Chains A and B, each alone.
Chain A
Amino acid sequence: MYDFAYQKPGSLADAVKVLSGDPDAKALAGGQTFIPVLKQRLNKPSTVVDLSKLGLSGITVSGDKIVIGAMTRHAEIASNADIKAKIPGLAHQASLIGDEAVRHRGTMGGSLANNDPAACYPSALLALGGTVKTDRRTIAADDFFQGMFTTALEQGEIITSVELPVPQKSAYEKFRNPASRYAIVGVFVAKFASGVRLAITGAGQGGVFRHTAMEKALSANFSPDAIGGIVTSSDDLNSDIHASSEYRAHLIGVISKRAVAKAA
C-alpha cells in the first residue's frame, strides 16, 4: 500500500470534519474490503480515518425496530439473540459473509457504504425497507443505493446506525461465487403485514434491486409457487467468467423460491 496519514478520532464531529475537509481522506470501518484494496495499491488516500473509537457499535431493540450500530461486526449480528429471533434472515445472512476472520472485523456500516454489487447486506436493508442514519440525516433504503459502489452518502458523511423494521417473516438465500464466495445471486425476502419486499444482490449491473413482480405475487400469496412462473430478464444483469447474465436470471428465480420456502 501507499503511505498515508492515519487518524483515529474520538468523536463523530471530528471524524466528519477530517473527511469533509479532504476529498482524498477515506474512512476505515472494518477494512475487509478497504485494506485489500489498499494493499493492491488501487486506492491512494491522503488520510485514513479509523471510525472504531466513535462508539458506533451495538444492537438494540426499540419497539418494532432493531437498531444496529454502523460499526457492529458481522459476527455480532449473526449471533445476536434478538436478531436471530426477530429477523432470522439477517442473522443467517451475516453468518454467510466471508470467513470467520472477516466476520469478526467487517462491519455493517462499512459494507453498506461501500455498496459492492455482490455484497450481502444491501439486500437485507432494501428488502426490510430499513433506514440509514448518518451524522446529519436519515436516508430510506429505497433512496440509499444508487448503483454499483454508489450511495446517497455525501462527501464526509458517516453512517452511524441502521434501523430495520421487524418483519413477520424473513429469509436470505445465497448462491455463492465458487471462488470469492461473494453472492452471484443473493435474495432477501421479508414479509410484512403491509406486503412483501424482495431484494436481489450480486446479479444486477447497477447493484442491489427490488424484484417488484415477485413482490406483487408474493404479497398476494406468500409461497414459492406464487413466483414459479415469473421470468427475470437477463438484460441489465452481470456476466463474468463465473456466471452469464442468463444463468444469473435463472438463478434469481430458483434462489428466490428457496428464500420464500425458507421464510414461509
Chain B
Amino acid sequence: MGFEGIGASVRRKEDVRFLSGKGNYTDDIDRPGQLYAYIKRADRPHAKIGGIDTAAASAAPGVVRVFTGADMAAENIGGIPCGWQLHNQDGSPMAEPPHPALAVGKVRHVGDPVAVVIAATKQQAKDAAELLAIDYTDLPAVANLKDAVAAGAAEVHDGVAGNICYDWAIGDKAVVDGVFAGAKHVVKLDLVNNRLIPNAMEPRVAIGDYDTSSGDFTLYTTSQNPHVIRLLMGAFVLHIPENKLRVVAPDVGGGFGSKIYHYAEEAIVTWAAGKVRRPVKWTAERSESFMSDAHGRDHVSTAEMALDAEGHFLGLRIVTLANMGAYLSTFAPAVPTYLYATLLAGVYKTPVIYCNVKAVFTNTVPVDAYRGAGRPEATYLLERLIDVIAHDTGLDKIELRRKNFIPADAFPYQTPVALEYDSGDYQTTLKVGLKNAGWDGFEARRTEARSRGKLRGIGISTYVEACGIAPSAVVGSLGARAGLYEVAEIRVHPTGSVTVFTGTHSHGQGHETTLAQLVVSQLGVPFDQVEVVHGDTAKIPFGMGTYGSRSLAVGGSAMVKAMDKVIAKGKKIAAHLMEAAVEDIEFKDNVFTVAGTDKSKTLTDISLAAYVPHNYPIEELEPGLDETAFYDPKNFTFPGGCHIAEVEIDPETGVVEMVNFTAVDDVGRVINPMIVEGQVQGGVAQGIGQALMENCNYDQSGQLLSGSFMDYTMPRANDIPNMSVATENTMCTHNPLGSKGCGEVGAIGSPPAVINAVVDALKDYGVRHLDMPATGAKLWSIIQAATPRMAAE
C-alpha cells in the first residue's frame, strides 16, 4: 500500500463490483409481491385525447389496475414541477404550463405518457396496453425552433402565445448597439447547437413501494439526486411528507444530466404503489429512453462581435432561440440563461455583452441540462465566432485569442455578464496546449496528409466554464427554487474506521475512491478503512446531488468542514486524556500530540474513548465522534483550458477521422489524477460525438427519426483517438480544497476545437462555417458544391 491521499492515482475501488457484474443497479432490485408497470406513450406529436377506453385492458390476464391522467387528476396529484423560474424582459414570470404525469386532454410529444397498466408480469402489462383504445384527434405540431416561432405556428400549450416560454435578456442593448455602430469590424455568424440524446448506458428504472403497516413510501430510482426527487415529488406532486418518503438511488449507470430531473414515471409508480398496495416496478426499454429522457442542447443563435482594427473585442451581441421541448423539465429554464449567457465572456475581456434568449416550446421531448449544460453552447458559439473572425479579417486565430485573454494578474475578474472569475491562467494553458499538440509542426503534417490524398486540419478552443454549483443566495436570486449547498457526515467509528455520508451521488465518477482519499489526507485513516455512502435519503442527512461538476468542489468541501469538526472535537478529548490544554494539541497523520512533548494518542484511541466514555469530559462534551457539515459555496468555480483537435478528411467520401486530440485543462486541485484523466477523456468523447456524429433528428411532423441506435450515431471506441490529457492548475480561491471540477470540461472545450479543425481542413474549399455534426454525407456535399467553383477559378 503506497500513498493513497490527495494526489495519488488510486485505482477506483468501485470498479471491482462494476466490472465483475456485482453492481446493485435499480433494475437489480425486486421487492416482494412486486407488480410491473408498462407506460402507454403517445405515438404522435400533438393530439387531443377524446377519451381512453380502459375496459379491455383492465380485463386482460394478469392486469391489476389501469390508470390514466384523469385518475391522477381526480386525486389532485400535482404536475411535474419545474425547479427554476425565469422572468421575461418586462419582469413578468415565464410561462409555466401544466405538466401532468399522465397526459390530460392532450399529448404534446411522441413518448408523452398517456396511461399506465399494472400487471403481474411485464409481458402482461405490455400485452394489455395494446388493448387501450385512445380516441385521438391529431393537431398540427411544431417540431423545431424555426417552425415554432413562425407566424401562425401551432401552439403547444393553449395560451402560450407564439410558443414563447420566456423572452429574457442580459446586458444593456443600447450600450452594446452603440459600440457596434462605432466598430471597425463587425463579424456575424449564424449557428446551430445540435440536439442530443443522452443515452446513459443504464436506462431509467423506478420502483414504488408502499409499506401498508407504516404508511411509508419508498422510491428506488435511477437518480443523480435522491433528496431533490424526494423534495419535488413529495412536496409538489404526491403530497407525501418527507418523513414518510424515502428515495433510494443505488448504483447508477451513467447520467450525464439526464438523471437529475424528476420524471413522471417516478411519481406514477410511487402513487400507483399506494393505490394497489404492492410494489410497482417500471424499467425503460431503450426505445423509451430515446423518447422520454430529457434531451440536450438545441440552440439556434446569431452571434456578432464588434472589433477594433487590431482585433480587440469591443462588444458581443447574441440572439438565441432555445428549445424547451413540450414541457419544462426540472432545470430547463436555467440552462440557456444562467448556465449559458453568463458564460459568454469566455476567457476574453470583451467589455460589453448583450444576449437575448427566447425559450420556445415545441412538440418534442423536454430538453434540459446535458453534460456541460449551457456552457458547451456558449463555448461553441464563442470559439466558432473567433475562428470566423480570423477567417473574415485575416487576423491570426491564436493571436486573436491571446490578445483578448483576461490576463493572469486580473483575477478576481468581474465579467460584464454577472460572473466573477476567481482564478485562471489562460496564456499558460494555451502555451502548453500548443506545445503538447505540436501546433507549430502542423503544416508539415498537412502536407504529408495531402500526399496520401487526405485533407488535414487543426482546430483550437480556449474556454472557461462555471461549475461547482452554486451559492444558494445567488442562484435563488436568479430563480432557483432550491439551495445548492452540499452536506457531508463524517462518522468515525469506535475503532477508528470512517464512514462518509455524502449528499452527492456517484453514477460513474468514482466518488467512493476520490472522497475516501480526502479522508486519508485529512484524518490519516487508511484508504481501506474508509467507506463512502451515498444515494439514500434514509442514510444521508441531506444533499443536492451530483451535476454541474459540483461533487468535489461543493461536496468535498462539506467533507473538509465536517472533518475539521471531528478534529476539533478529537482535540478536546485528547486534551482530557493527556491532561493538556486543548490549544496545545496538534493533529497530524492520524495522531494527536501534545505540542513539544512525546505524548500522543491516535485517532483510534480518541474514537474509542468517545464511544466508551469511561474516562471522558462528559460534563463538557457529548460522547461519539460523528460530525455533519453543510457547505454553501461562496462562488462558482471556473475551470478552463485549451483543447486542440486534429482531423483528416477523406475528400472522396467526406468522412472525418480524428487523428489527434490534446487537452490542457485547469481544474484546480487534483485529488486523483487518473480519475481526472478519465473524466476528461469521457467528456471529450462526448464532445467528439456531438461534433462529428450525434444528432437528434425529428421530421417536420414531429416524429422522432433517430429513435434507436440504428439511427442515432453514438461515438465508439475507434472513433476516439489517443488523447494527450494534461492539467495546468490554478487553485480555486474560495473553497478549502482549491478544486474546481473536471466532469464537464471535456464536453465543453472539445466540440468547437473539432469543428474548427474540420473547417481548417476544408479551407481550400471556401468553407467559413458548418453546423454540427460534421458527418461524411454533409462534408461530401460541401466539397461537391465547392469543387466546380474551385475548378472555375
A residues near B697, Cβ cutoff 8 Å = 241
Question: B780 and A241: CB pair below 8 A?
Answer: no
Question: A179 and B652: CB pair below 8 A?
Answer: no
Total chain A interface residues with beta-carbon distance under 8 A? 16
Question: A178 and B713: CB pair below 8 A?
Answer: yes
- Least CB distance, B130 to chain A, in whole angstroms: 8
CA distance A254 to B775 in the complex (A): 17
Question: A241 and B776: CB pair below 8 A?
Answer: no
Question: B652 and A254: CB pair below 8 A?
Answer: yes
Question: B777 and A244: CB pair below 8 A?
Answer: yes
CA distance A241 to B709 in the complex (A): 13
Q: Indicate with 1 or 0, residue by residue over A234-264, a CB within 8 angstroms of chain B CB atoms.
A: 0000000111100100110010000000000
Query: A241's contact among B652, B653, B711, by CB below 8 Å, is which?
Result: B711
A residues near B781, Cβ cutoff 8 Å = 244, 247
Question: B777 and A180: CB pair below 8 A?
Answer: no
- Least CB distance, A134 to chain B, in whole angstroms: 30
Instruction: List residues 171-228 of chain A with CB under 8 A from any CB of chain B.
Output: 175, 177-180
CA distance A2 to B130 in the complex (A): 11
- Least CB distance, A48 to chain B, in whole angstroms: 16
Question: A178 and B780: CB pair below 8 A?
Answer: no
Among A40, A177, A180, the most chain B Cβ lie within 10 Å of the Cβ of A180
Question: A242 and B711: CB pair below 8 A?
Answer: yes
Q: Indicate with 1 or 0, residue by residue over B689-721, a CB within 8 angstroms of chain A CB atoms.
A: 000010001000000011001111110000000
A residues near B780, Cβ cutoff 8 Å = 247, 250
Question: B653 and A175: CB pair below 8 A?
Answer: yes
Q: Indicate with 1 or 0, residue by residue over A1-42, a CB within 8 angstroms of chain B CB atoms.
A: 011000000000000000000000000000000000000100
A residues near B653, Cβ cutoff 8 Å = 175, 251, 254
Query: A178's contact among B123, B693, B784, by CB below 8 Å, is which?
Result: B693
Question: A180 and B710: CB pair below 8 A?
Answer: yes
A residues near B711, Cβ cutoff 8 Å = 179-180, 241-242
Q: Assess A242 versus B777: contact at CB under 8 Å? Given A254-B652, A254-B653.
A: yes
CA distance A3 to B121 in the complex (A): 13
CA distance A102 to B712 in the complex (A): 19
CA distance A243 to B655 in the complex (A): 12
A residues near B127, Cβ cutoff 8 Å = 2
A residues near B709, Cβ cutoff 8 Å = 179-180
B residues near A254, Cβ cutoff 8 Å = 652-653
A residues near B775, Cβ cutoff 8 Å = 178, 242
CA distance A40 to B653 in the complex (A): 33
B residues near A179, Cβ cutoff 8 Å = 693, 706, 709-714
Among B652, B705, B781, the most chain A Cβ lie within 10 Å of the Cβ of B652
CA distance A87 to B512 in the complex (A): 53
Identify the closest chain B residue to A185 (Cβ). Answer: B653
- Least CB distance, A127 to chain B, in whole angstroms: 21
- Least CB distance, B780 to chain A, in whole angstroms: 6
A residues near B710, Cβ cutoff 8 Å = 177, 179-180
CA distance A40 to B708 in the complex (A): 11
Instruction: List residues 636-687 of chain B with CB under 8 A from any CB of chain A.
Output: 652-653
Q: Indicate with 1 or 0, residue by residue over B711-751, a CB within 8 angstroms of chain A CB atoms.
A: 11110000000000000000000000000000000000000
Total chain B interface residues with beta-carbon distance under 8 A? 21
Identify the closest chain B residue to A255 (Cβ). Answer: B653
Identify the closest chain B residue to A251 (Cβ). Answer: B653
- Least CB distance, B581 to chain A, in whole angstroms: 69
Among A3, A180, A244, A247, the most chain B Cβ lie within 10 Å of the Cβ of A247
Instruction: List residues 394-434 of chain B with CB under 8 A from any CB of chain A.
Output: none
CA distance A169 to B676 in the complex (A): 51
Q: Indicate with 1 or 0, residue by residue over B761-778, a CB within 8 angstroms of chain A CB atoms.
A: 000000000000001110
- Least CB distance, B690 to chain A, in whole angstroms: 14
Question: A241 and B705: CB pair below 8 A?
Answer: yes
CA distance A124 to B127 in the complex (A): 41
- Least CB distance, A246 to chain B, in whole angstroms: 8
- Least CB distance, B612 to chain A, in whole angstroms: 57
CA distance A2 to B697 in the complex (A): 30
CA distance A247 to B777 in the complex (A): 7
CA distance A251 to B654 in the complex (A): 10
CA distance A153 to B581 in the complex (A): 95
A residues near B287, Cβ cutoff 8 Å = 40
Instruction: List residues 267-300 of chain B with CB under 8 A from any CB of chain A.
Output: 287
B residues near A244, Cβ cutoff 8 Å = 777, 781
A residues near B776, Cβ cutoff 8 Å = 178
CA distance A241 to B694 in the complex (A): 12
Identify the closest chain A residue to B773 (Cβ). Answer: A178
CA distance A177 to B709 in the complex (A): 11
CA distance A43 to B712 in the complex (A): 23
Q: Assess A243 versus B712: contact at CB under 8 Å? Given A178-B693, A254-B653.
A: no
CA distance A244 to B781 in the complex (A): 10
CA distance A264 to B710 in the complex (A): 34
Identify the closest chain A residue to B697 (Cβ). Answer: A241
- Least CB distance, A128 to chain B, in whole angstroms: 26
CA distance A241 to B708 in the complex (A): 13
A residues near B706, Cβ cutoff 8 Å = 179, 241
CA distance A243 to B653 in the complex (A): 11
B residues near A250, Cβ cutoff 8 Å = 780, 784
Identify the closest chain A residue to B123 (Cβ). Answer: A3
CA distance A243 to B713 in the complex (A): 13
B residues near A241, Cβ cutoff 8 Å = 697, 705-706, 711
CA distance A105 to B600 in the complex (A): 67
A residues near B705, Cβ cutoff 8 Å = 241
Q: Assess A243 versus B777: contact at CB under 8 Å? Given A179-B712, A179-B713, A180-B711.
A: yes
CA distance A116 to B706 in the complex (A): 20
B residues near A243, Cβ cutoff 8 Å = 777
Identify the closest chain A residue to B652 (Cβ). Answer: A254
Identify the closest chain A residue to B719 (Cβ). Answer: A178
CA distance A233 to B774 in the complex (A): 25
B residues near A242, Cβ cutoff 8 Å = 711, 775, 777
CA distance A3 to B122 in the complex (A): 13
- Least CB distance, B658 to chain A, in whole angstroms: 13
Identify the closest chain A residue to B285 (Cβ). Answer: A39
- Least CB distance, B33 to chain A, in whole angstroms: 24
Among B705, B711, B781, the most chain A Cβ lie within 10 Å of the Cβ of B711
Identify the closest chain A residue to B693 (Cβ). Answer: A178
CA distance A177 to B714 in the complex (A): 12
Identify the closest chain B residue to A180 (Cβ). Answer: B710
CA distance A117 to B123 in the complex (A): 32
CA distance A204 to B710 in the complex (A): 19
CA distance A178 to B287 in the complex (A): 19
CA distance A117 to B775 in the complex (A): 22
- Which residues of B pack against A, CB within 8 Å? 123, 127, 287, 652-653, 693, 697, 705-706, 709-714, 775-777, 780-781, 784
Q: List 17 A-B contacts (CB under 8 A).
A: A3-B123, A40-B287, A177-B710, A178-B713, A178-B775, A179-B706, A179-B709, A179-B714, A180-B710, A180-B711, A241-B697, A241-B706, A242-B711, A242-B777, A244-B777, A244-B781, A254-B652
Additional pairs, 13, CB under 8 Å, beyond known A178-B775, A180-B711: A177-B710, A178-B713, A178-B776, A179-B709, A179-B711, A179-B714, A241-B705, A242-B711, A243-B777, A244-B777, A247-B781, A250-B780, A250-B784
Q: Which 9 A-B pairs have the closest CB atoms?
A: A179-B713, A180-B710, A178-B713, A254-B652, A247-B777, A243-B777, A179-B711, A241-B697, A241-B705
